[in-house]
Amino acid sequence: MIVTRFAPSPTGYLHIGGARTALFNWLYARHHGGRFILRIEDTDQLRSTEESTHAILDAMRWLGLDWDGEPYFQAERVEIHREMVRKLISEGKAYYCVCTPEELDEKRKKALAEGRKPKYDGTCRERNISGTDNSVVRFKAPHVGTTVVKDMIKGTVTFNNEELDDLIIERGDGYPTYNFAVVVDDAQMGITHVIRGDDHLNNTPRQILLYEALGYDIPHFGHVPMILGSDKARLSKRHGATSVMAYKEMGYLPEALVNYLVRLGWSHGDQEIFSTEELINLFDLDAVGKSAAVFNPDKLLWLNQHYIKERPGRQLAEEVHPFFEKLGLAVPDVSQVMKVAGDLKARSKTLVEMADFGAFYFQDSVEYDAAAAEKFLTDDAKGHLEAVADELALLNDLTKEGIETLLRNIAEKRETKLKFIAQPIRVALTGKTVSPGLDDVMMTLGKETVIRRIRDAVRYGGTRRA
């Protein structure tokens, strides 16, 4: 059975690159009917926080990337790591090193000055010394031959062992280093395929040597190219939000972000939009490109608008409801929000935009755009608005047909064009010159609110001119 994993360090939020790695692992496992494991790599005691762990779990859940079984926590496995370190020491495959940081710094400076690679020079490699309170443990790496990485994405990559260091596998505080802990955990958890960013590629030969030294089966590796910003530099905060949950706060839907992330490096013909079921059925690593992907915020925004348009009414209402509340608006029940969201979904790119644009639905009094009021709440418009309010009071059924007939009849009676009535109504109801269809706005607001707002606009116009 294929088993993949996502193993974030809880030292911050789940960023876009990490989310794509998690997604690729999740899809690969689901496509092949395998298992997807989540492991929190929290052995960095100084930087790991419970808050970051919760943030990562929340982001995974929001994206819909469910994991099999309970999450693993690497810090709970430290004794297992220490046992494996002792095993390597007893077999002569690892050794204690007592070189001080100052001595190591001098060695690096000397190597650089002599034009050599600044790797550890093996001072303690054959001394056969015992551990002390501050000693570290180093892996006795081979210094001849090559280590070959058969990468599922990049192809075969060969490393000369003489370039590799005797890496530290246990720090002076007794905690394992990343390269060692990840090998032990992946092997003991039965991970068959390690899919991760290509910034880990240089770690892979070291890890392969550790697999061999520990007698473990070597998994399949696949290194995914990095994500770049529009300037072709590595994606960072200067290119926009990099936190997954920041996109939730900005009003993006999780399906849009998942759909966008999977297309950063993977393709299926010219298809752009995929359901989750389609992704599971179609995804495989042979369609992952070898070149870096460029993050395009406009493409993500386009996808988000698509998913907002396709969202079922009640679900969309429940998702946008908190964004109206963040504006300090008293929002009624979901059924009313459903009507509002139905009016707005065709023109909204994010839930934030939807709430900002649709705030007028829930305001006690309309906030008029000054230019709009100046242009459309005029003396001429006052008579039109009063006529509309009077006629609406007599209208029994506020429907599209009823509204259209009423407004056309008023325009005919008042010997004017419909637009000279419709635009003042729009400003009276929304405070703006742009809104969803006027009949939709009127039906959603309801007759009483429409009449009250129109009469308020008449009074506003009179007050402003007084």
Which residues are known to be catalytic?
A: 237
Distances from the Cα of 271 to the Cα of 6, 21, 278, 279, 450, angstroms: 27, 21, 11, 11, 45
Longest Cα–Cα distance of the chain, Å, equals: 106
HSE on the CB side for 153, CA within 13 Å?
24
Q: Which two tokens stand for residue 338?
A: 């459903």
